[in-house]
């Protein structure tokens, strides 16, 4: 028989590899970022740690419009995904019947294509003479000089598209969990379908909506791929800035500061949002 002491250790042993990995490759790097954000200098002249808070100031002043723009784009994209995703999830759960799980396929399947190829296909869709604009122009429904690429609309649309499953799946789960007897009870108590939705379905699906909005908004605000491929320089998001500073200009301190500001903003957003909605369980 194993000793009692050993049994007590089992969960810790099981969890150890994961914890180690995550600590070294997630938590430690974040701390490293904090350190870097307070450094000063550049590759050329040498970098030193001097509690250089000016990095933050510089980041905020230089990129304030970009920060704002990123959050606006992310918010719009999130709104769009919810507007599209909720009815879709509702349809699958309540009209799906036997085909319920099968109907999830069309939602998941687009995301089996590489992120980039997906985004490029969207770029192709919205090309100046591509299938959509080309047709509209040929029928003279749009002036010849119209374009979507390079506008905020394109970036927001692409963001919404690329993060759709993150919104749909949590909403699907919370809608699916609703006991159908509750709906019958509401009907029994004189509620017509619209009222049943408003008073029973919607409130009970809110945890899913909450999770969905967070899982969409947060990654979207840090994204740069969509802005890079479909946007013009004036549509650049904060992710582009960070990427640029890190990989192109190699200005690590500034980039780190910018990263951390983004992180802090997101934490604040989530905290405020959670307060409004109450704490929900997001992980399985």
Partner 1 sequence: MSLSAETRPVPAAPYRDRNQPADPVIKLERVRKAYGNTVVLHELDLDVERGEFLTLLGPSGCGKTTTLKMIAGFETPSAGRILIDGIDVSASPPYSRPVNTVFQHYALFPHMTVFENVAFGPRTTGLNRDLTKERVTHALAMVNMSVHAAKKPGQLSGGQQQRVALARALVNYPKALLLDEPLSALDVNLRHTMQLELKRIQREVNTTFIFVTHDQEEAMTMSSRIAVMNEGYIEQLDTPEEIYLRPKTQFVANFVGRANLLPGQVKARNGGEVMVELDSGGFGPAAAPDAVMPGDRVLLMVRPGQIALLPADQGRLSAHGFAARLRTRDFQGTVFRYALTRSDGREVIATLLPQHQLAGVSIVDEVWITWDAPHAWVVPAGT
Partner 2 sequence: MIAPASITAPRLKQPSRLGSFLGHHAVTAVALLALTYLMAPIVMMIVLSFNRTEGRFDYVWRGFSLAAWRHPFAVDGLIDALKVSIAIALVASLLATSIGTAMAYAMVRYRFIGRRALDLVLLLTISTPEVIMGSSLLNLFLDVKIPTGPLTLVLSHVMFDIAFVAIVVKSRLRTFDITLEQAAMDLGARGWRTFRRVTLPIILPSVVTAGLLAFMLSLDDFIITMFVSGQTVTFPLFVWGTARIAMPPQIYVVGTSTFVLLTSLLLGNFLFDQRRVRLREKV
Residues, the chain: 284
Q: What's the closest the beta carbon of residue 70 comes to partner 2, in angstroms?
A: 10
Residue 198 binds which of partner 2, partner 1, none (CB < 5-8 A, kind-dependent): none
Which ranges in the chain belong to alpha helices (H)? 4-22, 28-37, 54-95, 100-103, 105-108, 115-125, 131-138, 152-162, 164-176, 180-188, 193-196, 202-221, 225-230, 238-247, 252-277
b/e per residue 100-128 (b: at least 16 CB within 10 A) = eeebbeebeeeeeeeeeebbeebbebbee
Q: Which residue in this structure is represented by tokens 């109450």?
A: 278
Per-residue tokens: 273: 């949002």
Select 192 or 248, whichever has its Cβ closest to partner 1: 192
Binding mask 234-253 for partner 2 (x = CB under 8 A): -----x--xx--xx----x-
Of these, 71, 172, 210, 224, which contacts partner 2 (CB under 8 A)?
Answer: 224
Considering only residues 184 through 223, tell me which ones interact with partner 2, judged by CB under 8 A.
Answer: 190, 192-194, 214-215, 218-219, 221-223
Binding mask 172-191 for partner 1 (x = CB under 8 A): -------x-xx-xxxxxxxx
Considering only residues 95 through 124, tell me which ones interact with partner 2, judged by CB under 8 A.
Answer: 95, 101-102, 105-110, 112-118, 120-124
Residue 181 binds which of partner 1, partner 2, none (CB < 5-8 A, kind-dependent): partner 1
DSSP letter at 96?
A: -
Q: What's the closest the beta carbon of residue 279 comes to partner 1, in angstroms?
A: 15
Residue-wise DSSP of 110-165: GGGS-HHHHHHHHHHHTSTTSHHHHHHHHTTSS-TT---TTSHHHHHHHHHHHTHH
User: How many residues bind partner 2, per CB under 8 A?
Assistant: 87
Considering only residues 198 through 237, tell me which ones interact with partner 1, judged by CB under 8 A.
Answer: 199-200, 203-204
Q: What's the closest the beta carbon of residue 152 comes to partner 2, in angstroms?
A: 19
3-state DSSP call for residue 232? Answer: coil
Q: State the distance between the two ends of the chain, measured CA to CA, in whole angstroms.
A: 34
Residue 101 binds which of partner 1, partner 2, none (CB < 5-8 A, kind-dependent): partner 2
Q: What's the closest the beta carbon of residue 171 comes to partner 1, in angstroms?
A: 16
Neighbour-count burial of 140, counting CB atoms closer than 10 A to its CB (0-12 exposed, 13-18 middle, 19+ buried):
exposed
User: How many residues bind partner 1, per CB under 8 A?
Assistant: 17
Select 111 or 197, whichever has its Cβ closest to partner 1: 197
- CB-based contact 211:282 (threshold 8 Å): yes
- CB-based contact 61:258 (threshold 8 Å): no
Select 178 or 263, whichever has its Cβ closest to partner 2: 263
Of these, 156, 164, 183, 209, which contacts partner 2 (CB under 8 A)?
Answer: 164
- CB-based contact 160:198 (threshold 8 Å): no
Q: What's the closest the beta carbon of residue 200 comes to partner 1, in angstroms?
A: 6
Considering only residues 39 through 78, tell me which ones interact with partner 2, judged by CB under 8 A.
Answer: none
The site for partner 1 (CB under 8 A) is made up of 179, 181-182, 184-192, 195, 199-200, 203-204
């Amino acid at each position: 028989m194993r000793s009692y002491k050993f049994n007590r250790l089992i969960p810790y042993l099981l969890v150890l590899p994961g914890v180690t990995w995550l600590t070294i490759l997630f938590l430690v790097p974040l701390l490293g970022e904090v350190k870097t954000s307070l450094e000063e200098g550049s590759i050329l002249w040498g970098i030193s740690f001097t509690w250089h808070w000016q990095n933050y100031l510089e980041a905020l002043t230089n990129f304030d419009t970009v920060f704002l723009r990123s959050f606006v784009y992310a918010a719009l994209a999130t709104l769009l995904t919810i507007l599209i995703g909720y009815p879709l999830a509702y349809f699958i759960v309540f009209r799906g019947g036997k085909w319920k799980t099968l109907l999830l396929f069309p939602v998941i399947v687009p995301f089996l294509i590489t992120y980039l190829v997906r985004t490029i296909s969207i770029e192709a869709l919205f090309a100046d003479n591509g299938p959509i604009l080309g047709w509209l122009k040929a029928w003279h429904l749009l002036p010849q000089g119209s374009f979507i690429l390079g506008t905020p609309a394109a970036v927001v649309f692409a963001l919404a598209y690329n993060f759709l499953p993150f919104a749909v799946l949590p909403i699907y789960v919370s809608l699916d969990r609703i006991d159908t007897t509750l709906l019958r009870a509401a009907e029994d108590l004189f509620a017509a379908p619209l009222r049943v939705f408003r008073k029973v379905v919607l409130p009970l699906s809110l945890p899913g909506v909450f999770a969905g909005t967070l899982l969409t908004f947060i990654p979207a605000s840090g994204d740069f791929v969509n802005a890079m491929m479909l946007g013009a320089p004036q549509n650049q998001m904060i992710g582009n800035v960070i990427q640029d500073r890190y990989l192109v200009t190699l200005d690590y301190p500034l980039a780190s500061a910018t990263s951390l500001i983004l992180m802090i903003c997101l934490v604040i957003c989530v905290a405020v949002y959670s307060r409004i909605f109450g704490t929900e369980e997001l992980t399985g």
